[in-house]
Amino acid sequence: MAESDAEEGASPPKGAPREAHQGKKKKPQRWRPWLRAMHRDIGYVCVGLTFIYALSGLAVNHLTDWSDGDASFKTYSTSHEMGPLKGEDQAIADDLRRRIGIEEAPREIYRQSPDELEIIFDKRSLHANTTTGHVVDEGQKPRFILRVANWLHLNRGKKAWTYVADGYAASLMVLAVSGMFMIAGKKGLIGRGAVLVGLGIAIPVIYVSFAGP
């Protein structure tokens, strides 16, 4: 019995092919390292754009949760006591701009009433009582980072950004496809990977089937 066990664990005799003892080995797939390298480098390039689009997407998805209903701008209102304001409407507007620190030229200046002067800018307005000198400055201020992120996400810039956005979308598709083939075996596309890919496809399909477009 001991001799039999020893023979089973013994090394193959000299001169015998090693493959015959261990079984035929699979040749390594040389394209996988190149695929992983490509996936890695494209992923690094896409990090910045991914943060921008993901942050903007979260902000727009929860648009109704913003207190003023705008993810790009926040509203404000401040009051100033300037004392009686005298002179022509244009002169009063120029004086208020200088004292408040507004460099932008107004789009419109008009009297809402004999004592109420309205000074309208692109994103703000001054409501001045020329008798009391009470001035209300109200308007919108861009939200930090979100304003730029939403501006890029909604492709409101110059046409050149369309090419950047298209390149980013194509890169995401390359990452998605290459990611499916990076790992071989049961954890790759023929095993657990197939289940997860199917799950990712099923989520939008099921949602559209029940909720409708």
Domain housing 84: 73-142
Helix ranges (DSSP H) in 125-159: 146-153
How far apart (Å, rounded) are the C-alpha atoms in residues 4 and 1? 5
How far apart (Å, rounded) are the C-alpha atoms in residues 172 and 58? 18
Write down the pLDDT at residue 211. 82
Number of structural domains the chain divides into:
2
Write down the pLDDT at residue 25. 61
Residues 59 and 149 in one domain: yes
Question: Is residue 9 pLDDT above 50, yes or no?
Answer: no
Write down the pLDDT at residue 90. 95
Residues 88 and 118 in one domain: yes
Q: Could you tell me the pLDDT band of residue 88, with boundaries at 50, 70 and 90?
A: very high
Side-chain-facing half-sphere of 201: CA atoms under 13 Å: 7
Residues 120 and 78 in one domain: yes
How far apart (Å, rounded) are the C-alpha atoms in residues 86 and 93? 11
Residues 101 and 88 in one domain: yes
Residues 105 and 156 in one domain: no
Query: Mean pLDDT for the chain?
Result: 84
Residues 138 and 150 in one domain: no
Residues 178 and 78 in one domain: no
Residues 89 and 124 in one domain: yes
Average pLDDT over residues 2-17: 49
How far apart (Å, rounded) are the C-alpha atoms in residues 148 and 159? 16
> Is residue 200 domain-resident?
no
> Is residue 115 domain-resident?
yes
Question: Is residue 21 pLDDT above 70, yes or no?
Answer: no
Structure tokens of 118?
């309205």
Residues 138 and 149 in one domain: no
Angle at the Cα of 164 from the Cα atoms of 163 and 169, rounded to 5 degrees: 95
Write down the pLDDT at residue 189. 79
Contact (CB, 8 A) for 16 and 22: no
DSSP designation for 21: H
Write down the pLDDT at residue 23. 53
pTM exceeds cut of 0.75: no
How far apart (Å, rounded) are the C-alpha atoms in residues 113 and 117? 7
pLDDT in tens, 134-171: 999 999 888 888 888 888 888 876 788 889 999 999 99
